[in-house]
Amino acid sequence: MDRNHPQSPGFVTKPVAQDGSQSAASHVMVWVALVMLTGLTVTVAGLHLGAASILVAIAVAAVKGTLVLSRFMHLAQEPPVFKVMLGVAISILVVIMVFTFVDVAFR
* Average pLDDT value over all residues in the chain: 83
Residue 8 reports pLDDT greater than 80: no
Q: Is 41 within 8 Å of 57 (Cβ atoms)?
A: yes
- Cα separation, 80 vs 41, in Å, equals 32
Average pLDDT over residues 61-90: 89
Task: Return d(Cα 52, Cα 50) in angstroms, integer.
Answer: 5
Cα separation, 93 vs 20, in Å, equals 35
Looking at the chain, the whole-number percentage of residues with pLDDT higher than 90 is 43
Q: How far is CA 101 from CA 31, 85, 87, in A?
A: 31, 24, 21
- Checking if the pLDDT of 99 tops 70, the result is yes
N residues, the chain:
107
State the Rg of the chain over Cα: 19
Sequence letter at residue 50: G
Quote the DSSP letter at residue 70: I
Q: Are 34 and 67 in contact (CB under 8 A)?
A: yes
